[in-house]
Amino acid sequence: MAAISMRLPVARKAVAPSSSRGGEKRLVAPGDTITTDTGYMRGHGTYVEEEKLVASVAGAVERVNKLVCVSALKSRYNGEVGDIVVGRITEVQQKRWKVETNSRLDSVLLLSSMNLPGGELRRRSAEDELAMRDYLQEGDLISAEVQSVFSDGAISLHTRSLKYGKLGQGVLVQVSPSFVKRQKTHFHDLPCGASVILGNNGFIWIYPTPEQKDEETGSFTTNLEPVPLSDREVISRLRNCIVALVNQKLMLFDTSILYCYEASLPHQIKDILKPEVMEEIVMETRQRLLDLEA
Amino acid sequence: MAAVVLSEPEKLYIVHGVQEDLRVDGRGCEDYRCAEVETDVVSNTSGSARVKLGHTDILVGVKAEMGTPKLEKPDEGYLEFFVDCSANATPEFEGRGGEELGAEIASTLYRVFSSESSVDLKSLCINPREHCWVLYVDVLLLECGGNLFDAISIAVKAALFNTRIPKVRVLEDEEGSKEIELSDDPYDCIRLNVDDVPCIVTLSKIGYRHVVDATPQEEACSLAGLLISVTSKGTLTSMKKVGKGSLDPESIFEMMETGKRVGKSLHIALQKILDEEECLGTSRQKVGFLG
């Protein structure tokens, strides 16, 4: 039975600023004057015009002692050492892979930064170089950590731990990097029955929780068995919840995703993406998060 | 079309999901994404419509101009289609990149509307062999989010419903030369009957089943598909196979049946929203592009 819902567009309502933790962030648009005081040093996102400090991007003003900078709300991912990212392989080159991570330049994954199967520790030989395509091909998804940032801003990745590596079956959701909250860990096994990797670059990977936890192979073998229907429903619901949270401008972290999932249970999975249902679910999530803080 | 690259396990996940009638966003195989339709968005056209289907954004404008009828059909007006793939949609459309896709969509539209019963062309005639109304339908692709043909056909139908053609009178002089007089009242116009205008339904074959309204990720997993145009009564007016894969005759038959069923629901939903918009009249809050 086909379900087709059409509607007339409704003007977006301004989202009320959440009156949470103290220190109201000051939002500016490009061209807004930040300050006329000449004693400040200008940081990223600002420029000096006629002795005034003016913002060049739309975002929140951040001040550290004498340094004033504006961090953009929607921008490409700027890598920082230690971040977890989810990326897609775009090219296979000599001794390295080029990975797309929603940044200004393609990231780089060197062959030497990749674990060999079985956890061997040796110098990469010419055979390893020729067998690169057997490990990772164009289009493959990987989870990795940022090792270093080159001077031009390009990121160098590494998968030097068994929890990183090629990703198997699952769903990828792409959001703006500013929605992902910085936390201690970005790999979450949600109690609802699926696992999620919140990449700092805005790529969220939702996948069925693997059965055995001890057989860490470093993901060289992908599980190609069909995922059961119950897991699929959980994954689809999580995906829609994440889209709803981003649409209503709420930060993404394990608790918010979980609360949103629980708030969405009374609705059908495909109904979550309807504008009125999204608002209702996220309002409930916001309320629960505020209660949690209080 | 802007192709999304997927890894093999991701494609497998999608194919198995379709098999069990649970797509990635929770829809069934015959469900459409939530669509937003608004007409009368461009003020200097005779009729316009904007359709948002998920991430796909289409703007259609219809301009009615006077022209001479075609030689083989002297007592009918006609429609001209032009599709512009804007570079806003995807960087691949920059420069002349979008021309091929635009030409393909335009030729499909011509084919869909080639049936005599879709639009009453005789009502567009003013003077046989001399003057007739030509409707220039311009389609603008603002964002590509999968399922372009369906969204475009919905927008074209909505725009034609919204089109207001001014009433003209033909006056005969003593010498026999004809003069065309436009009525003074700007609200005095004729509307087109869009009851028989077909809508395109794209069915993409994924694995052993087919889906309607595929997202770009699902389109990457589908090797073959069927584009059919259905009227509100369920009649098929044209059919086209797309994709580089092959289709079994049995699957083609199944897909046609699904297409007819889905097409009828699509028309009912669209007509309901157009009538609702009409009823609101001037009290409707126009959203446009800055909403």
Of residues B19, B8, B6, the one with CA closest to residue B206: B19
Indicate whether B103 belongs to any domain.
yes
Query: What distance in Å separates residue A170's CA from the closest CA in chain B?
Result: 6
What is the per-residue pLDDT for B28? Answer: 92
Establish if B243 belongs to a structural domain. Answer: yes
How far apart, in whole angstroms, are the C-alpha atoms of residue A211 and residue A105? Answer: 36
Distance CA(A219)–CA(A35), nearest Å, equals 52
Smallest Cβ distance to A240: which of B25, B38, B273? B25
Q: How confident is the model at residue B178 (pLDDT cuts 50, 70, 90)?
A: confident
Which residue's entry shows tokens 């062309």? B121
Termini Cα distance of chain B: 28
Domain-located, residue B289 = no
| Chain A residues with CB-CB distance to B23 below 8 A | 236
Query: Is B208 a member of any domain?
Result: yes
Number of domains in chain B: 1
Residue B286 placed within a domain: no
Q: Is B149 a member of any domain?
A: yes
Domain housing B112: 8-280
| Chain A, chain B: beta-carbon pairs less than 8 Å apart | 122
Beta-carbon contacts of B137 under 8 Å, excluding residues fewer than 6 positions away, are B60, B61, B62, B79, B80, B81, B82, B109, B156, B159, B160
Helix (H) or strand (E) holding A138: none
Give B36's strand partners. Answer: A7, B52
How large is the average pLDDT for residues A83-105? 94
pLDDT at A50: 86
Which residues of chain A have a CB within 8 Å of the CB of B262?
A: 2, 4
pLDDT value, residue B288:
80
- pLDDT value at residue B2: 55
* Angstroms from A48 CA to nearest CA on chain B: 31
> Residues A8, A275: contact at Cβ < 8 Å?
no
Query: Domain coordinates of chain A in residue numbers?
Result: 27-72
Q: What is the Cβ-side half-sphere exposure of residue B63, based on CA atoms within 13 angstroms?
A: 12
Tens of pLDDT, residue by residue over A24-42, are: 778 899 999 988 888 888 8
Do the domain assignments include residue B291? no
3 state DSSP class of B54: coil
Residue B37 sits in a domain whose CATH number is 3.30.230.70
Q: Where are the alpha helices (DSSP H) in chain A?
A: 126-130, 132-135, 229-247, 254-264, 275-293
The verdict on A91 touching B (C-beta cutoff 8 Å) is no
Mean pLDDT of chain A: 88
Which residues of A fall within a CB distance of 8 Å from B8?
Answer: 139-140, 222
- Note whether residue B98 is domain-resident: yes
> Are the Cβ atoms of B265 and A8 closer than 8 angstroms?
no
**Fold category of A27-72 in CATH:** OB fold (Dihydrolipoamide Acetyltransferase, E2P) (2.40.50)
Q: What is the ipTM of this complex?
A: 0.90
- C-alpha span between B186 and A94 (Å, rounded): 69
Cβ within 8 Å of A, B 36-95 = 36-38, 52
> Model-level pTM?
0.90
Q: Count how many residues are written for chain A.
A: 294
pLDDT at A19: 54
